[in-house]
Amino acid sequence: MITKSVMLRFPRECVGKPEVSLPENSFIWQEEKCVHCGACAGICPSGAFIINGSTFEVEFDISKCILCELCIEACYYNAIQSVEDYIETSGVKK
């Protein structure tokens, strides 16, 4: 399980907070903002976001992600953001 802010790039690359160059068609999941409501898991067509049955927490499997970005719209707490939105709200420079 990912325990801090990461940038996710398809298909399986996870890196720390982005600093300089950010790819298009990627998003950022900030688990510390996640309240584990499951909205993303409920809308994810590929099963990349799931609710763990024993801990009742949201888990993300980048290998299943198809980058449809439906999870971004479903997240009420802005725990999932497009790279463009992340740049605007965090002050990270391209």
The residue ranking higher by pLDDT, 91 or 79, is 79
> Would you state the pLDDT for residue 62?
81
Q: Tokens 């420079």 belong to which residue?
A: 93
- Calpha distance 84→94 (Å, rounded): 10
Question: Tens digits of per-residue pLDDT, 28-47?
Answer: 888 889 999 999 999 999 99
Q: What is the mean pLDDT of residues 3-26?
A: 48
Q: Which two tokens stand for residue 14?
A: 């996870």
> Would you state the pLDDT for residue 23?
53
Instruction: Provide the CATH topology of domain 6-90.
Output: Alpha-Beta Plaits (3.30.70)
The domain spans of the chain are: 6-90
- Calpha distance 81→67 (Å, rounded): 12
